[in-house]
Structure 1
Amino acid sequence: MSPPPPPKLGRYEVLEEIGKGAMGVVYLARDPLIGRLVALKTFRVGFAAKDDELVQFRSRFVREAQSAGILSHPNIVTIHDVVDEGASGTCFIAMEYVKGTNLKQLLQRPEPFSHVFVAEVISQIAEALDYAHSRGVVHRDIKPANILITADNRVKITDFGIARLDTSNLTMEGQLLGTPNYMAPEQIQGKDVDHRADIFSLGVVFYEMLTRKKPFQGENLTQVTHKIVYEPFAPPEDTVKDLPAGLTAVLTRCLQKDPNRRYPRANEVARELRSALEQAEALDDTSATQEVEGESAPAEELQPTRRLERAEVEAAVASTRPAIVPPEPDLAPTRR
């Protein structure tokens, strides 16, 4: 049984625990100065680790706020405050409280996503990443657990915990930062990483939303990383019927092994996705009307994908605890 939450953290009044990960707990709290609800992401210092590893991780934790704190975008979770009370105290981040569910939870539901919904989610992520990249911030750990979706289909990226300012020389020596299933080849190989690694990771999320499968699968870390670096992914058309060619083209470019062959900017992903959808809709509009029980009706009236998708997201939000949860890696991080 978990211990009860502390009554206060810093000046914040703790209301309840709303999430838990391997390294810390997330609390719903109230800022008494302005009455605002916030999510407090704490770092648990009691796990088994050497002193230098604790210091290193605490530094990494604080850098999450320092990197994300310069960002102000509707699709990025806002950082309000960071508190580090020193070796004998707690360090935590006060961030925007988002009532929604994360994409990892949505992917566990049986209903497939419409192409329109997938393209819109990926486009919002891409626009947020482009904004962050333009300010020198690379996320380095884009994955479904870090993508929050509200009931009105607004996407919010969270957990810039391993983000790094391009102008910073701070690294975690010897560590492979990120979640292996979603890593770019250059991350796995220990090469220089820039914003194009986020575009590759976005492609992995894109593929998983379309197919409900990861593009590079294996029974262990070695198999997964080998496939990411050296092997092609199975065409999404093998799993998904009637996939617009334009969406496949965008996905394929995102998942190029060579970063020079990916999109140079994330906003190009959003632009080309929306263009591909417009072209697909134009083709549908020129096709013959569909016959239903002897009567004809426009195709668009038979496919209310946006309304259906919103209802599914609202149901998912209602059935899950609103939280910003420190994500658990699908495979354990490794040292190189």
Structure 2
Amino acid sequence: MEGGIVADRYEAIKRIGHGSYGSVYLARRRGTTSSFVVLKRVFVVEEGSKEHKEAINEVKMLQRLRHRNIVAYKDSFIRDSHLCIVMAFCSGGDLHSQIRAARSSSRTFTMEQVLEWLAQILEALRYLHEEKRILHRDLKSQNVFIVPERQMALGDFGISKSLSSTEDMASTVIGTPYYMSPELCQNQPYNHKSDMWAVGCLLYEVVMLRHAFEAKNLNELVLNIMQGKFPPVNEDEWGKDISKLVEDLLQQDPAKRPSVSEVLQRKFLQEVEERSREKSVLTTRSQGFRLLHP
């Protein structure tokens, strides 16, 4: 596939991911020197099958999403029994790589950087949960991407699910073990509060440079998650606000976890949003000045 032509539209440069669902390629439009895109090639068994319907639903869902902190949808088509979904390429890599680099160099992120990233992830989730009624269901550092101006963007919505069902719940167990909530471990119904658990795991990982829940095997990991066993956040280094937020998000009872809007209402995050708005106004004014005075 690498170096191959896909549907006379795109040239696959190299494969950058692979799984049971199919493969992901770095690509670009054929015959152009345009910027790179990411092409996700998913095998679809047959028209009318459950897999085919899920794939089509994914495309319809992606087409609805328009947010600066969500990786942009570009195109989609069927080719050789595969659904091909084209998304924007995030040249800054993912949050997982940033965390790994920080751990390797024995450095930590600044408080300002952590709070900005957290606010951006939460804004994307608020858009998904409250405006689009969608669960992400696989939040992890590998699915948080870095776009221009050090902005964070959520990606990989292949297993997202609409919240519009009668019970407002989803019962399929999907997710990455390190980020799985207790209710997922028990194969119980869950809703948007499982995404919030994953945010707690992400925040912990960013500040501590390790997973909140670790183990030698899956059974031990599930046990640790079910018992809520994780080393506490270093409050002397990160302060009470961050420590308390992690504690609240990693509550065993989903009902006790805050919603995305409740988290964003916390004073320290309100201050981050205010600084972000001020920075945006200054940037807009600066751009306007350059246009008037080239």
Query: What is the TM-score normalised by the length of structure 2?
Result: 0.78
> d(CA) in 2 for partners of 1:73 and 1:12?
26
Query: Structure 1, residues 147-202: CA drift from partner, whole Å, max 9, x if none?
Result: 00135211110001110012359xxx996311111011112212222111111101
Question: In angstroms, what is the RMSD of aligned CA positions?
Answer: 2.8
> d(CA) in 2 for partners of 1:174 and 1:197?
11
> d(CA) in 1 for partners of 2:51 and 2:3?
23
Q: Secondary structure at the match of 1:193?
A: coil
Among 203, 208, 212, which residue is 1:215 paired with? Answer: 212
Is it true that 1:63 corresponds to 2:60 in the alignment? no
Among 231, 236, 260, which residue is 1:234 paired with? Answer: 231
Q: Which moved more, 1:177-186 or 1:136-145?
A: 177-186
- Matching residue's letter, 1:4: E
Query: What is the TM-score normalised by the length of structure 1?
Result: 0.69
Aligned-residue offset at 1:236: 1.0
**8 Å CA contact 2:171, 2:189 repeated in 1:** no
Query: Structure 1, residues 220-248: CA drift from partner, whole Å, max 9, x if none?
Result: 111111211223322112xx742211111
Aligned-residue offset at 1:4: 3.2
2:23 is aligned to: 24
1:100 is aligned to: 92
User: Compared with structure 1, are the counterparts of its residues 245 and 174 closer, same or farther at alpha carbon in structure 2 (3 Å cutoff)?
Assistant: closer
Aligned-residue offset at 1:94: 1.2
Give the total of aligned pairs. Answer: 259
User: Compared with structure 1, are the counterparts of its residues 188 and 39 closer, same or farther at alpha carbon in structure 2 (3 Å cutoff)?
Assistant: same
> d(CA) in 2 for partners of 1:235 and 1:37?
41
Query: Structure 1, residues 104-148: CA drift from partner, whole Å, max 9, x if none?
Result: 111111231112211211111011001000111000000000000
1:112 is aligned to: 108
Is it true that 1:38 corresponds to 2:37 in the alignment? yes
- Matching residue's letter, 2:16: G
Mapping 1:252-263, distance limit 5 Å: 252-263=247-258
For structure 2, list consecutive stretches of 5 or more residues without a partner in the other structure. 273-294
Q: Secondary structure at the match of 2:70?
A: coil
Higher radius of gyration, 1 or 2? 1
Is it true that 1:205 corresponds to 2:197 in the alignment? no
1:183 is aligned to: 180
Is it true that 1:89 corresponds to 2:115 in the alignment? no
- Matching residue's letter, 1:63: N
> d(CA) in 2 for partners of 1:194 and 1:126?
16
- Matching residue's letter, 2:244: A
Q: Secondary structure at the match of 1:66?
A: helix
**8 Å CA contact 1:143, 1:205 repeated in 2:** yes
User: Compared with structure 1, are the counterparts of its residues 272 and 244 closer, same or farther at alpha carbon in structure 2 (3 Å cutoff)?
Assistant: same
> d(CA) in 1 for partners of 2:8 and 2:267?
44
- Matching residue's letter, 1:185: P
> d(CA) in 2 for partners of 1:273 and 1:184?
26
Instruction: Kindly indicate which of the two structures has a greater share of residues assigned to helix.
Output: 2
2:242 is aligned to: 247
2:158 is aligned to: 161
Q: Identity over the aligned pairs, expressed in percent?
A: 25
Higher relative contact order (CA 8 A, sep 6+): 1
- Matching residue's letter, 1:43: V
2:275 is aligned to: none
